[in-house]
């Protein structure tokens, strides 16, 4: 019963803090004390000067001819232009598979697929000199987008399972190098030696090949390091610590030149493959250390429970330990992959014609380009930056998808 004399106590309704109005925000974040105010003014000045200089340079005074003159050099190097269809076919295959993965797994694959399709379409639309500006190439680049969608449609069908898509990827990784290299003269696929490959094609091959090969090797090494077989353990530890203690250039140098001495004289390994071996070995050692951290993070109780349930060692490793360990170290592993991608530039030391090397040769190809180092190297840096940033962004999304750190 309400009592007329009772007044309800005035309840102060506490509202959540409203978003600060711009002035208030500026006062709080930029000028909250005299030290910060000075810093802010200095920083604003710095940003203004640097920003203006950069923009002025980039859009007005820079001579972008080395880049726009023949952009396709940066993409595929010296690959014979009449065999371009093979690179094109590989690209279509990749677009298709990316679309299929999007259809099957959704989530982050959507960003990848759309990025690839739209990126290539943009590349086809922008006007550029040389071969890239030709109509055929533009049209081809634009067709990648619908092919991606085709893949999506196929991938979202019910009957397509994950193993189909994975199988498709596996086949493509074997097919693409074969397609690019060819079989022999006089056939439909004349041989194109790997010394003719160049540019972004080689960079991607080294990076993706290195990643794919080094990951299982790294996991094996990490498991070997923890194994109870003393010889395997000593070998794994020696290998990991030895490789981690030396710079990548020495490993590349070793695999390129010294390795030929350790193998029987009849074995002649392709230069690109040698560089790939060097990068794989290097990356495997670092991956092994990352995975080791993950293995140590798996609670002992999990292993004991697995044993109690009756799983064998192999099953325990495969079903219980590895999934948890790998999920825990995804940030570190993706970080390692990004490093590997950037480290492909070191292949310049062993005369591999990757993106940076192409930039360097473009500078020397024409007398007028000789002074334009800034333009070329900034362009190369920008390309690497774009790829790396996208990869780290994707890794952050992947982490949230897989629930790293939450479960």
Partner 1 sequence: MRKLLLPLASLIILAMLLSACGTPSGGEIVEVEVTRIVEVTTEGETQIVSAPAPGYGEILARVKERGRVVCAGRTDLLGFGYLDDDGRNIGFDIDLCRAVAAAVLGDPEAIEIVPVTAAERGPVIQTGEVDILSRNVTWTSSRDSQWGNFTITMFYDGQGYMVRKDSGIESQDDMNGASVCVTSGTTTEKNLAADFRERGLDFEAVIFEDTSSVYGAFFEGRCDVTTSDRSQLAAIRAGADNPDDYVILPVIISKEPLTPVVPHGDDQWFDIVKIVMYTLINAENPAYGPITQATVDDILASDNIKGKTVLGVEGDWGYSSLGLEPDALANALRAVGNYSELYDRYMGPFGIAFTLPRGANEHWTNGGLIYAPPIK
Partner 2 sequence: MASSTSHRKSQDRKSIPFWRDERVLTAAAQVISAIIVIGGLIWIGVNLLEAAEQRGLSLGFDFINDPAGFPISESVIPYDDSYPFGTAFLVGLLNTLKVSIIGILLATILGTLVGLARISTNWIVNKIALAYIELHRNIPLLVLLFIWYFAVFNKLPPAKGSLELPGPIYLNQRGLYLSWPRLTETGGVFAVSLLVGLILAIITWVYLRRLRERSGRSTYFAGASLAVILVSAVLGLALSAWQPLWIDTPVFEGFNFTGGLRLTPEFTALLVGLVMYTAAFIAEVVRAGIQAVDFGQMEAAKAVGLKPMQILGLVIIPQAMRVIIPPLISQFLNLTKNSSLALAIGYADVFNVGRIMINQAGRAVPVFGMVMVTYLALSLITSLIMNLYNRKILISERAT
Q: Are 181 and 194 in contact (CB under 8 A)?
A: yes
Q: Which does 9 bind (CB under 5 to 8 A by kind): partner 1, partner 2, none?
A: none
Contacts of 322 (CB under 8 A, 6+ apart): 219
Nearer to partner 2 by Cβ, of 189 and 383: the residue is: 383
Q: Which does 361 bind (CB under 5 to 8 A by kind): partner 2, partner 1, none?
A: partner 1
CA–CA separation, 165 and 159 (whole Å)? 11
CA–CA separation, 66 and 103 (whole Å)? 39
The distance of closest approach from Cβ of residue 352 to partner 2 in the complex, given in angstroms and rounded to an integer, is: 13
The helix (run of H) or strand (run of E) holding residue 357 is: helix 355-365
Q: Are 64 and 128 in contact (CB under 8 A)?
A: no
Binding of partner 2 at residue 297 (CB under 8 A)?
Answer: no
Footprint (CB under 8 A) of partner 1, residues 110-169: none
Footprint (CB under 8 A) of partner 2, residues 331-360: 338, 342-346, 348-349, 356, 360
Other C-beta atoms closer than 10 Å to the C-beta of 16 total 5
Nearer to partner 1 by Cβ, of 110 and 360: the residue is: 360
User: What 3-state class would DSSP assign to 77?
Assistant: strand
Contacts of 224 (CB under 8 A, 6+ apart): 232, 233, 235, 236
Q: State the Cα angle at 354 between 352 and 355, rounded to 5°.
A: 155
Binding of partner 1 at residue 265 (CB under 8 A)?
Answer: yes
Distance separating the N- and C-terminal Cα atoms of the chain: 51
Nearer to partner 2 by Cβ, of 159 and 262: the residue is: 262
* Residue of 381, 397, 400, 405 interacting with partner 2 (CB under 8 A): 381
Binding of partner 1 at residue 18 (CB under 8 A)?
Answer: no
Binding of partner 2 at residue 373 (CB under 8 A)?
Answer: yes
Footprint (CB under 8 A) of partner 2, residues 244-263: 244-250, 253-254, 257-258, 261-263
Binding of partner 1 at residue 240 (CB under 8 A)?
Answer: no
Q: Are 211 and 290 in contact (CB under 8 A)?
A: no
Q: Which does 400 bind (CB under 5 to 8 A by kind): partner 2, partner 1, none?
A: none
DSSP string covering 152-221 = HHHHTSTT--HHHHHHHHHHHHHHHHHHHH-S-TTSSS----GGGB-HHHHHHHHHHHHHHHHHHHHHHH
Residues near partner 2 (CB under 8 A), total: 54
Binding of partner 2 at residue 84 (CB under 8 A)?
Answer: no
**How many residues would you count in the chain?**
407
Footprint (CB under 8 A) of partner 1, residues 287-316: 312-315
Binding of partner 1 at residue 230 (CB under 8 A)?
Answer: no
Q: Which does 384 bind (CB under 5 to 8 A by kind): partner 1, partner 2, none?
A: partner 2
CA–CA separation, 198 and 356 (whole Å)? 10
Nearer to partner 2 by Cβ, of 119 and 335: the residue is: 335
Chain residues that interact with partner 1, rule: CB under 8 A: 78, 80, 174, 177-178, 181, 184-185, 193-195, 205, 209, 213, 220, 257, 260-261, 264-273, 276-277, 312-315, 349, 351, 360-361, 363-364, 367, 370
Chain residues that interact with partner 2, rule: CB under 8 A: 29-30, 32, 36, 39-40, 43-44, 46-47, 228-232, 235, 242, 244-250, 253-254, 257-258, 261-265, 338, 342-346, 348-349, 356, 360, 373-374, 377-378, 380-381, 384-385, 388-389, 392
């Amino acid at each position: 019963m309400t009592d007329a004399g009772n007044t309800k106590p005035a309840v102060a309704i506490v509202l959540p803090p409203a978003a600060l109005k711009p002035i208030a925000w500026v006062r709080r974040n930029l000028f909250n004390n005299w030290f910060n105010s000075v810093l802010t003014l200095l920083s604003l000045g710095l940003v203004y000067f640097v920003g203006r200089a950069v923009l002025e340079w980039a859009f007005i005074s820079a001579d972008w001819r080395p880049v726009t003159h023949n952009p396709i050099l940066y993409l595929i190097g010296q690959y014979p232009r009449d065999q371009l269809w093979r690179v094109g076919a590989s690209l279509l295959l990749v677009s298709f598979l990316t679309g299929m993965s999007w259809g099957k797994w959704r989530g982050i694959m959507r960003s990848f697929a759309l990025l690839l399709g739209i990126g290539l379409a943009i590349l086809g639309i922008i006007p550029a000199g040389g071969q890239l500006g030709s109509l055929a190439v533009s049209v081809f680049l634009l067709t990648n987008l619908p092919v991606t969608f085709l893949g999506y449609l196929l991938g979202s069908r019910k009957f397509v399972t994950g193993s189909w898509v994975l199988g498709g990827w596996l086949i493509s990784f074997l097919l693409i190098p074969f397609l690019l290299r060819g079989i022999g003269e006089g056939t439909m696929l004349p041989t194109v030696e790997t010394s003719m490959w160049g540019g972004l094609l080689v960079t991607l091959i080294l990076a993706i090949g290195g990643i794919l090969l080094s990951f299982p090797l790294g996991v094996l090494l990490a498991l070997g390091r923890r194994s109870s077989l003393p010889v395997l353990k000593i070998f794994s530890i020696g290998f990991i610590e030895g490789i981690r203690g030396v710079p990548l250039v020495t490993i590349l140098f070793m695999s390129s030149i010294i390795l030929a001495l350790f193998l029987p004289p009849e074995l002649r390994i392709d230069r690109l493959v040698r560089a790939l071996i060097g990068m794989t070995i290097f990356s495997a050692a670092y991956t092994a250390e990352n995975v080791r951290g993950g293995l140590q993070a798996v609670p002992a109780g999990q292993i004991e429970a697995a044993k109690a349930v009756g799983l064998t060692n192999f099953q325990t490793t495969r079903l219980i330990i590895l999934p948890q360990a790998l999920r825990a170290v995804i940030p570190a592993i993706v970080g390692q992959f990004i490093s590997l991608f950037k480290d492909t530039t070191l292949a310049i030391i062993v005369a591999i014609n990757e993106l940076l090397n192409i930039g360097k040769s473009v500078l020397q190809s024409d007398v007028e380009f000789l002074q334009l180092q800034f333009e070329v190297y900034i362009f190369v840096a920008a390309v690497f930056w774009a790829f790396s940033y996208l990869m780290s962004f994707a890794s952050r999304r992947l982490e949230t998808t897989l629930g790293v750190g939450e479960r």
